[in-house]
Structure 1
Amino acid sequence: MHRFYTALLILCCLFMQAAFAQTSNGTIKGRVKTSDGKPAAYVSVGITHSGKGTTTDEDGNFLLTDIKPGSYTLKVSFVGLQTQEQQVNVSARERIQQDFTLTESSSQLNEVIITGGASSNKPVSLGKADIRPLDLPQSVGVIQSRVIADQQAVRLGDVVKNVSGVSLTQSRGGVAETFSARGYSIGIAGSGGSIFKNGVISNTQGFPDASTLESIEVLKGSSALLYGNVSGGVIINMVTKKPVFDWGGQVSMLFGSYGQYKPTVDVYGPISKKLAFRMIGTHEDAKSYRDVVNTNRTYINPSLLYKISDKTDVLVQVDYLKSNLVPDAGVGIPNNRITVTEVPDAPRNRFIYPAWAFNNTNQKSAFVTINHRFNDSWKLTAIGSAQHTRVNGFGVGVPTTIAANGDWNRNLSAVRSGEKDYTGQINLNGNFKTAGIQHQLLFGSDFTRIVSENNSFRYTSANGVVGTAYDKINIYEPASYYLRTDIPAVADTARTTTPQNRLGIYVQDLISVTSKFKVLAGVRWSHQKAIQTTIFNQEKQQERRGTAPDKSDHAFSPKVALIYQPVQTSSIYASYTNNFTINSGTDIYGDNLKPSIINQYELGMKNEFLNGRVTANVSVYRIQNSNFAQMALVDQNGNPNTNSNIKELNGETTSDGFEVDFNGTLSRNFYFLAGYGYNYMRYTNTTGIVGSQVEGERLINNPAHTANGSLFYTFDKGSIKGLKLGASAFYTGKRMGGNNNVVGLEGGLNNTTPNLTSYNAQFPLTGFSTVDLSAGYSLRGVSLLVKVSNIFNTMNYIVHDRYSINPIPPRMIAATVSYRF
């Protein structure tokens, strides 16, 4: 580790030395303002016919470096704006100042910016390196706040379905969501490490409030080079809104079906010339289409931005979430065999859990981001964060076993858990030339510590009976059995604390061999340590160590991509990268399993048309895990293995697919999003008695087909000026729930005639489509937007967990009244 770290530091210093030595070229800097003197943020500035370009920052400033002496045309543009051009003459070692004033006011520009959120080709902060979208050899989706507001999205799952190939595959008890892309799933906990907030690991227990976000960034495929042990299919970053040095804000009230109401306040502005603030707060109270279920949530997100100097700024963001709800684990799966289309007499609203059940989540997060620009070519970013999540809940467990006639023995289940996430990362970005070749270098390191706590319990009924058994019900005929309504006593018996540490060091370079041919190459070294658990006995007030010792894993994650850009508005790339997963259990000799290395190959093409107003992207991929961990069929003596903790790395999974995105903003009044994804994720090379999985079987919770489409148009002329119309449609294809089938071996290798048996544990789910229609009207800052979701009242299910399914929401209505100032 020490030698590797030292080598990277020396390499970085050599690059910096070469960069600082290069001073013969010139620089263009300037500021773009609106007609009323306000800074114009996120406006494109570029040199025509050169491929050089950038965007203005939040203060309207831009900087173009390493420009050869000569005469150039400087162009300022944004979707929906009139393009402006200026001639500039650049001399060696000279810094040219060139400012622009747009014809639009700040309010008009803000409207254009948020409406322009339909394009997939947006820079992503999750990329760490400020790489231009057409230079990034990876499939990306960015959903801006305008789309979130127009669709009146509330949860994260409402938003990510706008990205091709990404689907909501599990809704866990109405408490959290699980997403799938390219055959791989990402869950709720920070330990899963694939859902981020402001670029750092986030626990999403209790649902993040998507309606308050600036944007949601989605990177598909492997991102292990930058983030280590993350999903091989997708990572999601939630970007919170930031302070602005201009007074403004918005207040709104959402009313919805089943008694939903949700007021939101967003206020921002300058405190001084160098200090700005933003305060966002919202509260939600709602019942549900599911009997008994209700939600009560409060979310607060204050932030401060301090500009220490022209080169350095500090951003501090804090948020607090309090979520109290009735958990809902769905309708069960009778006999764990039948298809959902055969479920008899199971109305969408039927709730089969105690009315007294509860789940309360409290979460506090803090983020500090420091940006420092050394000069025109080098920038340093440091991020620190802390998050604390507490969950307290009590009810009955997921219905793992329901008889074919609907009888279910309900057992008590409680949760009292906590998770503390601490993250620090530092990134150095540099732009320079060596031997006439342009480099865009990223060098960085990150560290994450996650400490999880979980409790075990003892349950006691009012008459003194100790145990988990509660009662028996019939999910089809609830009145056929006596339903208990009393709340048993629950007492903590033990608390298990599980710490883990993650460390990563990475370097990445985007090399422009020519203006048309580029290479991106990089590598990461990751070290992950699971520290021995501690178990505190609450009754005896004693602490002991867990049985499993510390476990350390490490892996290298390389990435290389070739990028060809025949014209400035088109990019073709081919890439190889990998990621890794940490495996639990041991091999047949009792040794810890090594991480599984998962290889990904991707071909893609990104295109921009009509001056960036329309984007059309396509990608094709293969993701292969050739050392998939599966249950060993036999032990070291050749006898049948019945211990699921004893595994071997001889399985294989293969995920093939492609994705298409076609998005655009044809004017400030009209934008659309459209996408389609296909995935074939299955077990491969598992025939015979090599492993315990079934050859060719699709993995559960992975729809083969997904599709999305949305369009919104606002009239700006005539008697209907201010009228907005919109429509959205989403499709989730058929998939399998439950557990993947397992092949068992009877007789063992020493038996001359071993028998292979398959244990069926799956149930099929049909595909479904939902359609939403929206209409609204705006006048002088006041707006009303009404949406009817699932207008055709489609009935289908989302998997809750392996043993239950949740019906999707029926036709519902939501209306939002807002005032922008």
Structure 2
Amino acid sequence: MKKYYIILLLILSVSLYAPLLLAQSKTGNIAGTVKTSDGNPAAYVSVGLAGINKGTTADEDGNYELKNIKPGSYTIKVSFVGLKTQEQPVTVTAGKISRLDFNLTESASQLKEVVITGSQTLNKPVSLGKANIRPLDLPQSTGVISSTVIADQQAVRLGDVLKNVSGVSLTQTRGGVAETFSARGYSIGVAGSGGSIFKNGIISNTQGFPDASTLESIEVLKGSSALLYGNVSGGVVINMVTKKPRFDWGGSVSMLLGSYNQYKPTLDIYGPITKNLAFRVVGTHEDANSYRDVVNTHRTYINPSLLYKIGQKTDVLFQFDYLKSDLVPDAGVGIPNNRITVTEVPNQPRNRFIYPNWAYNNTKQTAGYLTVNHKFNDNWRLNAIGAIQNTRVNGFGVGVPTAISAAGDWDRALSAVKSGEKDYSAQLNLNGNFKTGRFQHQLLLGADFTRIVIEGRNFNFTSATGFVGTKYDKINIYDPATFNARNDVPTITDTMRTITPQNRTGVYVQDLISLTSKFKVLAGVRWSYQKAFQSTILNYNTQKVTRGTAVDKTDKAFSPKVALIYQPQQTTSVYASYTNNFTINSGTDIFGNNLKPSHINQYELGMKNEFLNGRLSANVSLYRIQNSNLAQIALFNPDGSSNTNSNVRQLNGETTSDGFEVDVNGALSKNFYFIAGYGYNFMRYTNTTGARGSQVEGERLINNPAHTANGSIFYTFDKGNIKGFKLGASAFYTGKRMGGNNNTVGYNPGELNSASVNPKTGVVTQISSYNALLPLKGFATVDLSAGYSFKHVSLLAKVSNIFDTMNYIVHDRYSLNPIPPRMFAATLGYKF
């Protein structure tokens, strides 16, 4: 019912503001276009009235409009960090639009460099929003990490970059082959089937680590984005934006050298092929050992792209990705007795590797993206995206380190993976700007479709002695000399292939309505339809095809969003929003019916501010996210008897996530920028049944730090004998959090906490899941950077984790991965 109260509030608000609209005195508008010296649009430059705190930002086509200006004479100015400010007089007449165009002295390529080096502020448009809404008009916390920040911090992995986003933390590295993140209490998955990470606006499988160092930017939308993307994390969605072709010649080549024999050459070339056709090719290769014994990395990434302009109104962009990532899997140091705390892990050096020396995990990934942008006129645009991604993973080693005794003994069992995921995606977005009476609308109509096909394999293992089974050997994680560890590689044979498809589709509508220059409303709704198909199983021994036990499952959900926006001035925005997202549940209710999705409500208050003509941004947001129908084990069967089957569940639990985030970013000159952020989160169980098998009320959920903070500052000298010298520092803090498994009522720590019952025999089978909270202390790391550039050549060096802080990233209950120690990296680059 809460959503209907919000809608009623919206109607009442409109009714209250209507008289204000009629009582307004007549005003005029100022509109125009800003172009570069070579006739190209000057996007995102600041346009404002001199002496009056009223301004705006030119859109991607260089168009701007200042609304509701009292009649009179003014001076309008155009500025950007690193640009020469231009001023022109203008006269505003009531009821009319005064047009005034500007031509900058800089070319498009010069402006591009200025934007890249000088614009690190928060409030930039994000393509994730699909509607090109002005950042201060968007009632949602956003962020953009540019390629300049990525390069200055010499970031390589996605996790290296996301540390710059308040409230987002790296929480897991399962087997050392993929990253998982947490934000606002919710996890962000890896695979396309359940992930919330996108590339160029399309859902992406991030197995094998995407190469962040080659990206143009990384965008984030915090909180629920179900209206635009359906079943995604309620904490944040992430978009990796690859570099696009340009119609001016240029490029760069660089070599990164780092600790543990890391080297990483990168090449980036772009330019025109014809008047209407441009290209870009970005490629890199990385070889590196690790602070963890035996672990090494060999990676190759290539990203070619073509941009074709069909006249003045249509662009066609084709992008292709190829990634080959060969890694040694590493599940960390292990957790003895499944519940031992970090401080109790003795004699575990940071470098000790407990997997077999021959273990491997190889990923190959290809993807193609086709984007068409068509501009019907100044008010209506169409965007269409289609993509195919194919991910193949082939790995062999031993299973994750579970059932380690308190003394450190571990019986290692063989484990392999040969999986695939094919993602087929398409989306269509229509954007329109129009008026109905005195109301201005910014409308988005859209639809999307994703088909995900997941393939998995089963295996037999044969040792040199002919033994068939998963048992490999026994080691002691504290003293490797205790047992004779095996080093032979068993033979692996495929026995079964399982293919599981699913379809996800949705249609959505969103409208940003400007009631006045100060009051706006954003409202929208999405209808999502998801279908998980019954698996197809091929037995390689019999060559027979069978079906999985789970039948087709269909889920449907509506995801509304409504927000009120108040802008006392054009550089300040205050908003209150309600959004809803959903999660898909497995299992059945007590009557054997599939569980419906859980609907999660989010309430957010926020304020966005811009100062110094957009050179300084300061944003704050306060939120509550509540899942009032969390799936829990059902207490009783229909006949009143106690239920012991963990697959029989009911939607009567609850979690609540409260928190706030603060971000202050600035680019005070083209030589100086800083990024700072802080996030607090309290995610806990707030309503449970209290019966055996249910969660413990009031307990924090695992893998959610209470506090996160980040800060970076970079300055480049441009005068005197030290011209070209750059200094930088970055600090990142992850607060205390819990790893392991959350406790359940009626079980002791370390005890199996769920069970299933065979309906025919009545035999209860324990499920291998433990109550085992792992308290992890907070930690901070500090990086220092220094560099020098002269003409086309640059050299940048960094010492990361300069104080050699020791801490861990934990995945569930069975593994702790030590964070990297103090390390060195340097990048030598040449731009042409």
How has the CA–CA distance of structure 1 residues 63 and 603 changed in structure 2, closer, same or farther, with 3 Å as cutoff? closer
Aligned length: 782
**Which of 763, 766, 779 is 2:777 aligned to?**
766
Q: 1:269 is paired with a residue of what secondary structure?
A: strand
Tell me the equivalent position of 1:737.
Answer: 739
795-804 or 39-48, which deviates more:
39-48
Write the distance in 2 (CA, Å) between the matches of 1:38 and 1:264: 32
Residue 194 of structure 1 pairs with residue 219 of structure 2: no
**Which of 760, 779, 794 is 1:783 aligned to?**
794
Write the distance in 2 (CA, Å) between the matches of 1:790 and 1:711: 16
Contact kept in structure 1, 2:708 and 2:734, CA below 8 Å: yes
Instruction: Compute the displacement of 1:148 (Å).
Output: 0.4
Contact kept in structure 2, 1:336 and 1:762, CA below 8 Å: no
Mark the runs of 5 or more structure 1 residues left unpaired by the alignment. Answer: 1-24, 749-757
88-97 or 556-565, which deviates more:
88-97
| Code of the aligned partner of 1:101 | L
Tell me the equivalent position of 2:101.
Answer: 98
Q: CA RMSD in A?
A: 2.3
Write the distance in 2 (CA, Å) between the matches of 1:484 and 1:620: 54
Contact kept in structure 2, 1:80 and 1:666, CA below 8 Å: no
| Code of the aligned partner of 1:76 | V
Tell me the equivalent position of 2:214.
Answer: 212
How has the CA–CA distance of structure 1 residues 53 and 378 changed in structure 2, closer, same or farther, with 3 Å as cutoff? farther
Q: 1:190 is paired with a residue of what secondary structure?
A: coil
| Code of the aligned partner of 2:507 | I
TM-score of the superposition, structure 2-length normalised? 0.91
Q: How does 1:418-817 map to 2 (within 5 A)?
A: 418-686=420-688, 688-689=690-691, 692-744=694-746, 760-817=771-828
Contact kept in structure 2, 1:440 and 1:509, CA below 8 Å: yes
Instruction: Compute the displacement of 1:195 (Å).
Output: 0.4
**Which of 46, 50, 58 is 1:55 aligned to?**
58
Write the distance in 2 (CA, Å) between the matches of 1:45 and 1:760: 55
- The superposition leaves residues 654-711 of structure 1 with CA deviations (integer Å, 9 ceiling, x where unpaired) of 0000000011011111100110000000001225339701010000000000000000
Tell me the equivalent position of 1:244.
Answer: 246
Write the distance in 1 (CA, Å) between the matches of 2:198 and 2:423: 12
Instruction: Compute the displacement of 1:85 (Å).
Output: 2.7
| Code of the aligned partner of 1:491 | T
- The superposition leaves residues 322-371 of structure 1 with CA deviations (integer Å, 9 ceiling, x where unpaired) of 00011101111011122112210000000000110000000001111111
Instruction: Compute the displacement of 1:174 (Å).
Output: 1.8
Write the distance in 2 (CA, Å) between the matches of 1:65 and 1:562: 21
Contact kept in structure 2, 1:650 and 1:691, CA below 8 Å: no
- The superposition leaves residues 222-278 of structure 1 with CA deviations (integer Å, 9 ceiling, x where unpaired) of 000100100011110000011111111110000000000000000001111111110
Contact kept in structure 2, 1:459 and 1:491, CA below 8 Å: yes
Tell me the equivalent position of 1:6.
Answer: none
Write the distance in 2 (CA, Å) between the matches of 1:300 and 1:808: 28
How has the CA–CA distance of structure 1 residues 247 and 72 changed in structure 2, closer, same or farther, with 3 Å as cutoff? farther
Q: How does 1:100-179 map to 2 (within 5 A)?
A: 100-102=103-105, 104=106, 109-179=111-181
How has the CA–CA distance of structure 1 residues 680 and 63 changed in structure 2, closer, same or farther, with 3 Å as cutoff? closer
626-635 or 89-98, which deviates more:
89-98
How has the CA–CA distance of structure 1 residues 87 and 276 changed in structure 2, closer, same or farther, with 3 Å as cutoff? farther
How has the CA–CA distance of structure 1 residues 405 and 41 changed in structure 2, closer, same or farther, with 3 Å as cutoff? farther
Q: How does 1:330-345 map to 2 (within 5 A)?
A: 330-345=332-347
Tell me the equivalent position of 2:45.
Answer: 44
Mark the runs of 5 or more structure 2 residues left unpaired by the alignment. Answer: 1-27, 748-752, 756-768
Contact kept in structure 1, 2:741 and 2:770, CA below 8 Å: no
Contact kept in structure 2, 1:693 and 1:741, CA below 8 Å: yes
Contact kept in structure 2, 1:65 and 1:376, CA below 8 Å: no
Write the distance in 1 (CA, Å) between the matches of 2:546 and 2:108: 62
Instruction: Compute the displacement of 1:96 (Å).
Output: 5.9
| Code of the aligned partner of 1:685 | N
Tell me the equivalent position of 1:375.
Answer: 377
Instruction: Compute the displacement of 1:198 (Å).
Output: 0.5
Write the distance in 1 (CA, Å) between the matches of 2:371 and 2:741: 42
Q: 2:213 is paired with a residue of what secondary structure?
A: helix
Contact kept in structure 1, 2:564 and 2:575, CA below 8 Å: yes
Write the distance in 1 (CA, Å) between the matches of 2:185 and 2:671: 36
Q: How does 1:258-273 map to 2 (within 5 A)?
A: 258-273=260-275
| Code of the aligned partner of 1:774 | S
- The superposition leaves residues 519-557 of structure 1 with CA deviations (integer Å, 9 ceiling, x where unpaired) of 000000000110111111111111111111111000100
**Which of 294, 301, 311 is 2:296 aligned to?**
294
Instruction: Compute the displacement of 1:84 (Å).
Output: 1.5
How has the CA–CA distance of structure 1 residues 96 and 204 changed in structure 2, closer, same or farther, with 3 Å as cutoff? same
Instruction: Compute the displacement of 1:643 (Å).
Output: 2.0
Q: 1:330 is paired with a residue of what secondary structure?
A: coil
Q: 1:345 is paired with a residue of what secondary structure?
A: coil
Instruction: Compute the displacement of 1:53 (Å).
Output: 4.3
- The superposition leaves residues 614-641 of structure 1 with CA deviations (integer Å, 9 ceiling, x where unpaired) of 1111000000000000122333333333
Write the distance in 1 (CA, Å) between the matches of 2:548 and 2:90: 69
How has the CA–CA distance of structure 1 residues 646 and 405 changed in structure 2, closer, same or farther, with 3 Å as cutoff? same
Contact kept in structure 2, 1:440 and 1:510, CA below 8 Å: yes
Q: How does 1:339-354 map to 2 (within 5 A)?
A: 339-354=341-356
Contact kept in structure 1, 2:55 and 2:66, CA below 8 Å: no
TM-score of the superposition, structure 1-length normalised? 0.92
Write the distance in 1 (CA, Å) between the matches of 2:692 and 2:466: 51
| Code of the aligned partner of 1:199 | G
Instruction: Compute the displacement of 1:762 (Å).
Output: 1.2
| Code of the aligned partner of 1:786 | A
How has the CA–CA distance of structure 1 residues 348 and 320 changed in structure 2, closer, same or farther, with 3 Å as cutoff? same
Contact kept in structure 1, 2:580 and 2:600, CA below 8 Å: yes
Write the distance in 2 (CA, Å) between the matches of 1:203 and 1:573: 33
| Code of the aligned partner of 2:650 | E
- The superposition leaves residues 413-468 of structure 1 with CA deviations (integer Å, 9 ceiling, x where unpaired) of 00000000011110010111101110100011111100000111111111111100
How has the CA–CA distance of structure 1 residues 802 and 776 changed in structure 2, closer, same or farther, with 3 Å as cutoff? same
Write the distance in 2 (CA, Å) between the matches of 1:40 and 1:341: 58
Write the distance in 1 (CA, Å) between the matches of 2:181 and 2:458: 28
Tell me the equivalent position of 1:818.
Answer: 829
Tell me the equivalent position of 1:17.
Answer: none
Q: 1:146 is paired with a residue of what secondary structure?
A: helix
Write the distance in 1 (CA, Å) between the matches of 2:746 and 2:556: 32
Contact kept in structure 2, 1:393 and 1:416, CA below 8 Å: yes
Contact kept in structure 2, 1:117 and 1:147, CA below 8 Å: no
| Code of the aligned partner of 2:771 | N
Write the distance in 1 (CA, Å) between the matches of 2:331 and 2:770: 25
Write the distance in 2 (CA, Å) between the matches of 1:120 and 1:257: 32
492-501 or 735-744, which deviates more:
735-744
How has the CA–CA distance of structure 1 residues 54 and 381 changed in structure 2, closer, same or farther, with 3 Å as cutoff? farther
Write the distance in 2 (CA, Å) between the matches of 1:94 and 1:575: 32
